[in-house]
Amino acid sequence: MKFVIVAKMQFLRSVSLKKTIIFISLLFTDLTVKYFVFHNIDLYQFIKITEILDITHIHNFGVSFGLFSGTIPSFFLVIIAMFVVFFIIFLYLNSKDALERWGLFIIICGAMANIIDRFINGYVIDFIYFHINQFYWPAFNFADIYISIGIIMIIFNMVKKLNNR
């Protein structure tokens, strides 16, 4: 328990007011749009925005892209996700690279938004649906975009470091 308190204090010390505002803004945006979708779009309804983009309302009971849907109870998925977030916070606290820290921070924002959604509903609401002709990408949400952007930032940073050697 003492380790958790120390880690929490280190994390809070390392997060600036700017990052706190960004964290709250990203969570608020994701959860507000999910709330709007839940209350205004029928389940499995598709609203065409462009030729390749629809807005929909899908309940994701699994992890990424619905993997393990229905096989793992949502309570366990929340616990597993929290352990992953704690590990990412550990990486964040031990990182000395600014771009890597921002990438990890944005991943934490997205993961927390999906954890909160799953904790409240027992599933994650996905609503962005891309398709080209007969090719479909699984539905996703803003939190998934945050996680993807964070991963891209970390990969970009790794490639940049490899090229500088």
CB 146 within 8 A of CB 109: yes
Residue 17 above 70 pLDDT? yes
Q: What is the pLDDT of residues 64-98, one digit of tens each?
A: 777 778 788 899 999 999 999 999 999 999 999 99
CB 91 within 8 A of CB 163: no
Active site residue 54: no
Q: What is the pLDDT of residues 49-72, one digit of tens each?
A: 999 999 999 999 988 777 778 788
Q: What is the pLDDT of residues 101-159, one digit of tens each?
A: 999 999 999 999 999 999 999 999 999 999 998 899 999 999 999 999 999 999 999 99
Active site residue 97: no
Residue 6 above 90 pLDDT? no
Q: Tell me the HSE value of 32 on the side-chain side, using a 13 A CA sphere.
A: 6
User: In the numeric block, which tokens belong to residue 92?
Assistant: 């964040």
**pLDDT at residue 11 in the model:** 59
Q: Count H helices and E strands in the chain, helices first.
A: 5, 4
Q: Tell me the HSE value of 156 on the side-chain side, using a 13 A CA sphere.
A: 13
**pLDDT at residue 118 in the model:** 96
Q: Which residue has the tokens 């809070």?
A: 12
Residue 26 above 70 pLDDT? yes
Cα–Cα distance measured from residue 117 to residue 77, given in angstroms and rounded to the nearest whole number: 12
30, 54, 117, 144: which one is catalytic?
A: 144
